[in-house]
Amino acid sequence: MTTNDTIIEVKNLKTQLGGAWIHKDVNLEVKRGEILAIVGGSGSGKTTLLREILMLLKPTAGTIRVFDVEMTTASSSVLLKVQRRWGVLFQQNALFSSLTLLENVAFPLREHTQLDEATIQKLALLKIELAGLPRGAATKFPSELSGGMQKRAGLARAIVLDPELLFLDEPSAGLDPDSAGALDELILDLQATLGLTIIMVTHDLDSLWKVSNRVAFLGEGKVLAVEPMKELVKNPNKLIKAFFNGPRGRVAEQQYEPGAKE
């Protein structure tokens, strides 16, 4: 359930990389409890925006407030406190290849808490099960897991510190349709169970329809619209129309909005 409580506020964001302006004037608000997806054409700066919110990349100008903290000017100690309140699933999962699934999920607990080893193991196993993985997978290494299981492992680690905020970068990338659909269901389950606010960068049209409450469309260096999918696909902006009006876009719209015109 969404509220009017703004958890992230991006204002007048400008980003120049390699002499080119990626963001010219990005403005965006994320409400507590919602699942907001970020989409746009290639080179529109979706992942760049995510990295800036995470403070992995500093914008050229503008402000980014998360939990009412101005991230671009915050001290490293303040940033760390904010970063402990979120979890991240990177596109490539970022699992340590030399650690087992259990050790990967337990890693943030060892880094950021003073919990004893027994409690760490118990919490890590709990999050592994919450992510829909069997206990038997805990002793396996990432290379022994399927792509879908690796995504779930990444999600288990992302939620192990009980975050309020979850960032997902192309969560369904590289997955077959069945695995991608199962991951969508898991994201919805986790959001409902844990009360998470989720920001998701994706190009997966099924995920946009099935998972998101609102979708922010990036183009021309700014946010062109922020709307639920059923409204966004009717937006008259030429970039938005071109993005959603291809064959795949029409098939997805027909599936989730059966009354829509073909």
Quick: pLDDT tens for 38-80.
Answer: 999 988 999 999 999 999 999 999 999 999 999 999 999 999 9
100: helix, strand or coil? coil
In whole angstroms, give the CA distance from residue 30 to residue 47. 16
Domain 1-79+212-262 CATH assignment equals 3.40.50.300? yes
| pLDDT of 6 higher than 70 | yes
Q: What letter represents residue 238's amino acid?
A: K
Q: How many other C-beta atoms lie within 10 A of the C-beta of residue 4? A: 6
Predicted local distance difference test score (pLDDT) of residue 128: 94
Question: Domain extents for the chain?
Answer: 1-79+212-262
Q: What letter represents residue 208's amino acid?
A: L
| pLDDT of 196 higher than 60 | yes
Predicted local distance difference test score (pLDDT) of residue 24: 96
Give 262's pLDDT tier (boundaries 50, 70, 90). Answer: very low
**What is the token pair recorded at 222?**
């700014």
Quick: pLDDT tens for 124-170.
Answer: 999 999 999 999 999 999 999 998 899 999 999 999 999 999 999 99
138 and 125 in contact (C-beta within 8 Å)?
yes
99 and 140 in contact (C-beta within 8 Å)?
no
Supply the pTM of this predicted model: 0.90
Q: Which residues is 10 bridged to in the sheet?
A: 28, 64
